Structure 1
Amino acid sequence: MARGVNKVILVGNLGNDPDVKYTQGGMAITTLSVATTSVRKDKDGQQIEKTEWHRVKLFGKLGEIAGEYLKKGRQVYIEGRIEYGSYEKDGVKHYTTDIVADEMQMIGGGEGGGPRSGSEDGNEGRYQRGSGGGSYGGDRAQRAPAQRREPAAAPARKAADFDSSVPFDDDIPF
């Protein structure tokens, strides 16, 4: 029997500071509110913006890192899966939709501080659940560490080839 695919990729801005809570066992559960905005034109040619809000959950070390480095307004890349749930309150059934993150990368300068992409190994600022180099916490099967991708036709570059006085923004997650 074939397996299904449940994969979500979000690139958006945080609507508030991360909400970090801990289980009795000490595992961090961090909730983020991430806004994504799309633009389209209506029949009159007017641009219409639509903002969608996503509740994102990060667990373990990934949640701790998000709680420490992310701040309201910071742009973030999230990769994970969608999860639906429900609960009953005062006799009324409520439904939830969460994105359970497996990977998080801080992008853009932002006020959030913390590491930025662009370290020698290309892993700084990018975090994954699982184990192995550049990864933190979690229960997923081992994943390869995040790697910087160079264009196929680009010649090999040495550190001396880069002018450090020119800002180099390599925060695009794909």
Structure 2
Amino acid sequence: MFNKVILIGRLGQNAEAKTAQNNKEYVILNIATQESWKNDKGDYETRTEWHRVYAWRNLSKFAKTLQKGQLITLEGTLRYREVEDEIEGTTFKHRIAEIHAISMKRLSKIETADDPADGAGDE
């Protein structure tokens, strides 16, 4: 059996550092990907999907160096977990999808006024 996810997308915000109950550090990243298609009228439409990515151990150290807007690629596994949300006094259970990163690479430099990112790899 096989469980593999490959994404190329942009960071929606800087990495969010966390500590698990076992005192292990990890980072949460929110990655935006886009897909485009031509509709029945011949016009292009675009949809953005947001992905929640977890990076552990040494990968979390690298993830902390990433900044909002950077283009990255990552490889990981897809996992699901049950969560509960309360809305107006009613508790709802649902499943959410998460990606646990195995590898990650920066595809664009940090954009500055003097040095705009051109999409070239810097690693």
Q: TM > 0.5 between the two?
A: yes
Tell me if 1:84 matches 2:115: no
Q: Which of these two proteins has the greater Rg computed from alpha carbons?
A: 1
Task: Report if aligned partners of 1:28, 1:61 keep a CA contact under 8 Å in 2.
Answer: no
1:89 Cα deviation after fit: 3.9
| 1:110 aligned counterpart, secondary structure | coil
1:93 counterpart residue number? 93
Q: d(CA) in 2 for partners of 1:83 and 1:9?
A: 14
1:71 counterpart residue number? 67
Moved over 3 A (4+): none
Q: What TM-score does the superposition give when structure 2 sets the normalisation length? A: 0.82
- Per-residue CA shift, 1:42-63, capped at 9, x if unaligned? 0111010111110000011211
Q: d(CA) in 1 for partners of 2:92 and 2:35?
A: 33
Counterparts of 1:1-174 in structure 2 under 5 Å? 4-23=1-20, 25-67=22-64, 69-90=65-86, 91-111=91-111, 169=120, 171=121
Gaps of 5+ in 2: 113-119
- Per-residue CA shift, 1:67-119, capped at 9, x if unaligned? 1x10110111110010011123443213211010000101112339xxxxxxx
| 1:61 aligned counterpart, secondary structure | helix
Letter of the aligned partner of 1:105 in structure 2? K
Q: d(CA) in 2 for partners of 1:22 and 1:87?
A: 19
Gaps of 5+ in 1: 113-168
Q: d(CA) in 1 for partners of 2:73 and 2:94?
A: 28
| 2:42 aligned counterpart, secondary structure | coil
- Aligned residues between the structures: 111
Q: d(CA) in 2 for partners of 1:100 and 1:8?
A: 9
| 1:108 aligned counterpart, secondary structure | coil
Query: Which one has a larger percent strand, Structure 1 or Structure 2?
Result: 2
| 2:31 aligned counterpart, secondary structure | strand
Task: Report if aligned partners of 1:76, 1:105 keep a CA contact under 8 Å in 2.
Answer: yes
Q: What TM-score does the superposition give when structure 1 sets the normalisation length? A: 0.59
Kindly indicate whether structure 1 or structure 2 has the higher relative contact order, using CA contacts under 8 Å at least 6 residues apart.
Answer: 2
